[in-house]
Structure 1
Amino acid sequence: MNWKHEISAAAERIDGYAQVTPVMESRALRLDYPVEMKLEHMQHTGSFKARGAFNTLLSLDVPEAGVVAASGGNHGAAAAYAAQTLGHPAKIFVPELAGPSKIALIEQTGADLSVVAGEYANALTQAQVYENATGAMQIHAYDAPATVAGQGTCFAEWEAQSLKADTVLVAVGGGGLIAGALGWFQGARKVVAVEPETSCALNAALQAGEPVDVAVSGIAANALGARRIGSICFDLAQGMTSVLVPDAAIAQAQDKLWRAHRILVEPAGAAALAALLSGAYQPEPGEKVAVLICGGNISPDPLQG
């Protein structure tokens, strides 16, 4: 697949629907070098996921039964928001670990929401049953070409905003976001995959030579907790750098973003930065680095109640 072409087409398609998110350079993170950041937690519904959801709905014929999606929270909110914006009914399945703030976010869209016991994989199973029974269109959270192309628009947009970095660090769950990065950059910039030690589907797949099931836990599991990496991501990720970070480093990165810049993000949103702060990824002298801040749906919502 010509990912550059698909991502460019997606960017045109979702123009006016997805938010153009800001970028900044930080010298206040107590590192010996500046860090470029793209603040994608300021996207509609608080994560990059709106890009893939809008691209899917705008590029395919949506049946009368509407759309269905399984999600750890962020994708469900994005799919529901996109469906509401475009006038389609939406059925969303999320696991209990999605947490109250993300569940409330989905409910605010007016979507039909079902909370499923267990983890994301259980929600996906229920979504597939619903799809087969009703004919609703599945919006996959990460392993579908339209989703990946939509997420790739984030990186096309970033380059248009004068990205200077040699290396871009991206948090990984199921792999849709980093697949979009790899599809867009195509080796022109180094892309580093960052995963929690306790939710590391891509790292495990690269070590095994094929996608494998992994156990999922930790503070970022409701966003990065895919049990198995997507096949599109796995195919694009061969030979790439993959690093793991502990929960403590993710929490430290959340704290640094707040104290240095008053940026409040969920654990997944801070995971890429955690790789720099913890030394899991150490840039070479003179290497310019950037991190994507991918999600801001912190739980509990600090302004709720």
Structure 2
Amino acid sequence: MNIRVPTPDDVAAAADRIRGHVRRTPLIGVPSGTFGVDAPLALKLELLQHSGSFKPRGVFNRALTRDVPPAGLVIASGGNAALALLHVGRRLGHAVEVFVPETAPAVKVAKLHHYGANVHQAGRDFAAAVVASERRAAETGALLMHAYDQPEVVAGQGTVALELERQCPDLDTVLVACGGGGLAGGMAAWFDRRVRVVAVEASGSPTLAAARAAGERVTISVGGVAADALGASRIGAIAWEIAQRAIDEVVVVPGEEILDARQRLWDELRICAEPGAAAPLAALVNGGYVPEANERVAVIVCGGNSDPATLKAAR
């Protein structure tokens, strides 16, 4: 199968295209010892992006490169891509329709309904929602959007890396959460081995780790605390192509350590991240990734669509 993989030029073009539609999210530095990590870190706060995650970057890029039919846009999502599509549709004046699994977090589904989205809950997992969205697009003629496995979407997500490099030009390593691989793949496409990319997966959905072990993309069972955001059952075809040459390492972290890292973000910085967004920090906290002396490390905090009531009181 011929897979079109975004290049750095595609990412740069996406950045130009979506400028004015997305936020330049802040990068903050934290000193060594913060979170119990023996290294200074830079946190890219992509959870402050429109709709609460990095997802609008890719959705805007695809929507702005296609002729959108009167039926509008349709997507399947665990929640964040649906929220992004709703934002993009409102901004560009397109009708949108979203399919989420029955297991989608109530806080995300409620937010979709609050903003008037046409929401369908279909099946127990993301794969079932994808099938329903594809069927709907065929019926209505709507432009099908994929949460992570279309070239324009991956290139759009790669603009996080382009922006990060401009904010931190002497970066050595970036840790990024990986589910379907749109963000990790897009960032690796931009850096193209100039910066070390470490993909971090939850133990309940290690799609890239499983593919590397098998030497090919495989379907896995999905579960655990981060399944809503990192709940793909198979690494995206585009991300897999990129990963084989440009993602340096994959770290898998247990769910309880993700929740601990999430709590630390709240305790130390009052950042309310969703579990999947805390996975990269968990890899540093638990020693899954240990920076070398003087290594300049960035962590992508990629989503904040989470219920603050699930966090503990200040410790």
Mapping for residues 1-305 of structure 1, pairs under 5 Å: 1=5, 3-27=7-31, 28-238=34-244, 240-299=248-307
What letter is aligned with 2:138? N
What letter is aligned with 1:23? L
Q: Match of 2:299, SS?
A: strand
Q: Distance in 1 between matches of 2:126 and 2:231?
A: 7
State the Cα distance separating 1:111 from its structure 2 match. 2.1
Q: Is the 8 A contact 1:45 1:105 kept in 2?
A: no
Alignment deviations for residues 142-197 of structure 1 (CA, whole Å, 9 cap, x no partner): 01001001101111111111243311001001000011111100000000010011
Root-mean-square deviation (CA, aligned residues, Å) is 1.4
Q: Is the 8 A contact 1:99 1:299 kept in 2?
A: no
Alignment deviations for residues 117-153 of structure 1 (CA, whole Å, 9 cap, x no partner): 3011110010011011111111110010010011011
State the Cα distance separating 1:24 from its structure 2 match. 0.5
State the Cα distance separating 1:64 from its structure 2 match. 1.0
Q: Is the 8 A contact 2:6 2:151 kept in 1?
A: no
State the Cα distance separating 1:300 from its structure 2 match. 6.3
Q: Distance in 1 between matches of 2:138 and 2:226?
A: 30
Q: Is the 8 A contact 2:165 2:171 kept in 1?
A: no
Query: TM-score if structure 2 supplies the norm length?
Result: 0.93
Percent identical: 46
What letter is aligned with 1:247? G
Q: Is the 8 A contact 1:91 1:111 kept in 2?
A: yes
State the Cα distance separating 1:299 from its structure 2 match. 3.1
What letter is aligned with 1:295? G
Q: Structure 1 301/138 Cα, relative in aligned 2: closer, same or farther at 3 Å? A: farther
Q: Distance in 1 between matches of 2:68 and 2:122?
A: 25
Q: Distance in 2 between matches of 1:121 and 1:2?
A: 24
Q: Distance in 1 between matches of 2:115 and 2:91?
A: 9
Q: Distance in 1 between matches of 2:309 and 2:187?
A: 29
Q: Structure 1 185/3 Cα, relative in aligned 2: closer, same or farther at 3 Å? A: same
**Segment drifting more, 285-294 vs 150-159:** 285-294
Query: TM-score if structure 1 supplies the norm length?
Result: 0.96
Q: Is the 8 A contact 2:6 2:154 kept in 1?
A: no
State the Cα distance separating 1:302 from its structure 2 match. 7.1
What letter is aligned with 1:121? A
Long gaps (5+) in structure 1: none
Long gaps (5+) in structure 2: none
Q: Distance in 1 between matches of 2:153 and 2:63?
A: 10
Q: Distance in 2 between matches of 1:117 and 1:132?
A: 19
Q: Distance in 2 between matches of 1:117 and 1:2?
A: 31
